[in-house]
Amino acid sequence: AFVESAIDGGYVVQLIVSRAQRMVGIEHHARWVSKEWSPDRVVTRLAYWSYRYDDWRTQAQLARLTTALALLCVTHELIRLWAHNPSKRALLRRLGSSYWLLLTVPSFALPALAELTQRPISVSSYTLWVSANELLMFVRCFHEGHVLPPFKVIVLTLANAAGQLLSFSIAMLCAIAVLAAVFVQLFGAWHPAYASFGMAFTRVFTSFTVGAEVDEDAMRVSPAGAALAHYVTNLFLFLIVSQFFIAIVVGSFDATREVERELRRYREIPSGYAPFGSPGPTPRRLADALGYLCAYR
């Protein structure tokens, strides 16, 4: 009776581990798949939380550290903008661009704000926050591909194909959503992988990327439905739709290489002329390399 009432409330048990000034809790949640039709089947999940007692010394140190890093990032970005010697209009346009507002500013401002406000946050939310910030920094690294020769073709290829990939992705996601809804109707009452639309969507999306194997559990419940799901996902998603994705990227790659070839040919020294000049002294070259690393010049 206790377990049944706990599942009705969506909460089962909580385990708390405490050491010194830190506490970590693990919550076990459960919900019925269908209490009326499947009373012996439940879906479980775990949730984690943490709590630390206020220690003003540690908080002050973390606040100073994150603020210093944020100021360093701001200084770095301002130096990079100053290196291009832009006009006031160009500077305002740069500061109001989507890249600056959605990627640059959040990557260094959000961690500092989170630490300065001292808002409580769970362990899972904290790791998700850190991972999202790392992904922002990773996307910003791709921006350097415009000036680093080994990555320039990759970045330009993705930039040229972005519009077509976006249009194709919308149509692809709609098709995956329809198939996920169909599979939930076929197997949702018996198969845990199709118990919810989100889980079914993830499974169908995986079939789009790597193909689908014959699902033995679904085959035991509905052989005809399992065969339909297997052939539709492999023939339609994996062998047809996913190839359009590859074709768009390959086409953009070929176009980008052709443009780069034309630019290289345009910048070559004309026939009958010879290169003139010699590299600068070593200290000067080292200073230029250091300036590039510090200010992306």
Nearest to 172 by CA among 144, 138, 139, 207: 207
**Confidence tier at 255 by pLDDT (50, 70, 90):** confident
**Confidence tier at 2 by pLDDT (50, 70, 90):** low
pLDDT tens-digit series, residues 30-68: 777 777 777 777 777 777 777 665 566 766 777 787 778
Max avg pLDDT among 69-83, 181-195, 279-293: 181-195
Asked whether the predicted pLDDT for residue 245 surpasses 60, the reply is: yes
Nearest to 108 by CA among 136, 142, 143: 136
Q: Tokens standing for 271?
A: 């026939």
Sheet holding 22-34, edge to edge: 13-19, 22-34, 38-52
What are the residues facing 49 on neighbouring strands?
25
Asked whether the predicted pLDDT for residue 147 surpasses 70, the reply is: no
Q: Which residue has the tokens 């992988």?
A: 193
User: How far is C-alpha 116 from the chain's CA centre?
Assistant: 26
Structural contact between residues 26 and 46, judged by C-beta atoms closer than 8 angstroms:
yes
Higher pLDDT, 65 or 244: 244
Structural contact between residues 234 and 211, judged by C-beta atoms closer than 8 angstroms:
yes
pLDDT tens-digit series, residues 152-195: 788 888 888 888 888 888 988 998 899 889 888 888 877 778 88
Q: Give the mean model confidence (pLDDT) for residues 206-214.
A: 81
Asked whether the predicted pLDDT for residue 73 surpasses 70, the reply is: yes
Number of Cβ atoms within 10 Å of the Cβ of 70: 19
d(CA 229, CA 219): 10
pLDDT confidence of residue 115: 65
**Confidence tier at 3 by pLDDT (50, 70, 90):** low
Residue 279 CB partners (closer than 8 Å, separation 6+) = 285
The CA-CA-CA angle for residues 24, 128, 188, to 5°, reads: 95
**Confidence tier at 11 by pLDDT (50, 70, 90):** low
Structural contact between residues 241 and 176, judged by C-beta atoms closer than 8 angstroms:
no
Q: Tokens standing for 20?
A: 């010194």
3-state secondary structure of 187: helix
pLDDT confidence of residue 297: 42
pLDDT tens-digit series, residues 111-125: 777 666 656 566 667
For the chain, give the mean pLDDT: 76
Structural contact between residues 184 and 222, judged by C-beta atoms closer than 8 angstroms:
no
